[in-house]
Amino acid sequence: MALIAADTQYLVVGLGATGLSCVRYLVAKGKLVSVIDSRQAPPGLDALRAEFPDVEVTLGGFDADVMTRVDVLVMSPGVPLSTPAVQTALANGVRLSSDIELFCQAHQGRTVLITGSNAKSTVTSWLADIASRAGVTFVVGGNLGQPALTLLEEPAELAILELSSFQLELVGPLRADVATVLNVSEDHQDRYPSFAAYQQTKQRIYFGCRHAVYNRDDVLTSPLLPTGVAQTTFGLDQPDLNQFGVLEHDGEAWLACGRDLWIRAKDVALPGRHNRSNALAVMALAQAIGLDRDAILASLKAFKGLPHRCEPVGSIDGVQFVNDSKGTNVGATLAAVEGLGRDHPGRLILLLGGQGKGADFSSLSEPVAQLCKSSWVFGQDQEQIAAVLSAGGQSSTVHRVDTLEQALAGAEAEALAGDIVLLSPACASFDQFNDFQHRGDVFRSWVEARL
């Protein structure tokens, strides 16, 4: 990464928690810093003014003149690069940076970077659990938890960062020790001009990495890297030498590295075919960064996952209720339906809907028709989603309702003992909820009130 002059002027674009962390970091380094935000009262404004009364702040819009007077834009991932004032600044030679780039410049230990359309939070947290069991000092954050720059406050041998496509737009070569794209499916098509553009953004995580880990079941995760860069794959088929996959042994499925059997699939704490893939990704990442095998195996047997990610909530009269509110895109819902439905065909009742973000829901049609007993569609884009599911031959079992609560009531009335009611919306939540956590909490509260 290019050296930056001591008198370089930085403009933090977008405040909030990430923007405030950037200001704190740059001021502590003695840099010249100002802030711009399109909102009149962005989150973090009071804290900024209390801590840094001399920092210039421009509010209420993105002014191209302000942006072109500085040397570096430190971008919030919430501000699209397509913003006209940003494009004007870049055309005038202003450099682009972000908290992730600043973190990777400053961090002295090893770094693992994780992205994917789905499961990145689960895999990031699972790898952190292994690091803890291995006795390694580590920090974890990025798109998950704390803003990256706050992680520099404590020394660590290992940094584990989850990165979104929005964050990856803003970086050059990050030179990670290990980097992975877990999977790629259609998402954020309201932000990107094409699916190809979204997929190419995900690929940026590999730039300059020393070891790439990718999913051989998903060709879109395969990196284009120079000869000599180490590569490890994972997948649900039989693995080649030194790769991770599934082997049959004495009538049981085992997770393995090459011919080396590591753990029976049924002994992995997280259930479902999709979590078998996640477990293999974690195994590959942990081995690539040099974590102890005993710690890996202990975590595989004990890690219970994260809230709102195929989270068992409770059972009512023999009907299981599972909260996958984090399933905010089609790929996530497809993974949940296939992960749970393959073991319980015809017993799955799917609740989905919300803001579709311009997504194509057609890939859900056939799996839902094959694996689900019925589907209950709610929220803003219910009409579009219901039409697609009905085209898959399920017209008699696709129900349209207005709210999640109505969908839950309908599913409860329909369900029989042994069925699974799965909330996996395939959509953003902002039409009716604050965020996916709020949606999942509503689901959980509804179920718990009946237990």
Instruction: Give the number of C-alpha atoms closer than 13 A to the C-alpha of residue 154, restricted to the C-beta side.
Output: 10
Instruction: Give the number of C-alpha atoms closer than 13 A to the C-alpha of residue 345, restricted to the C-beta side.
Output: 6
CA distance to 118, 245, 307, 400, 422, per residue, from 408 (Å): 24, 37, 19, 12, 10
CA 439 and chain centroid, separation: 17
* Residue 401, helix vs strand vs coil: coil
- Residues with a known catalytic role: 120, 143, 188
Tokens 């039989």 label which residue? 238
> Whole-angstrom distance between the N-terminal and C-terminal Cα of the chain?
56
- What b/e readout covers 312-339, taking b as 16+ CB neighbours within 10 angstroms? ebeeeeebbbbbbbbbbbbbbbbbbbbb
User: Can you list the positions of beta strands (E) in 42-88?
Assistant: 56-59, 72-75
SS (H, E, C) 135-152: CCCEEEEECCCCCHHHHH
* Tokens (6 digits) for 29: 């380094």
Helices 404-414, 436-448: inter-axial angle, 10-degree rounding: 40
Give the strand pairing for 398-400 and 95-98. unpaired
Contact 355, 343 (CB under 8 A): no
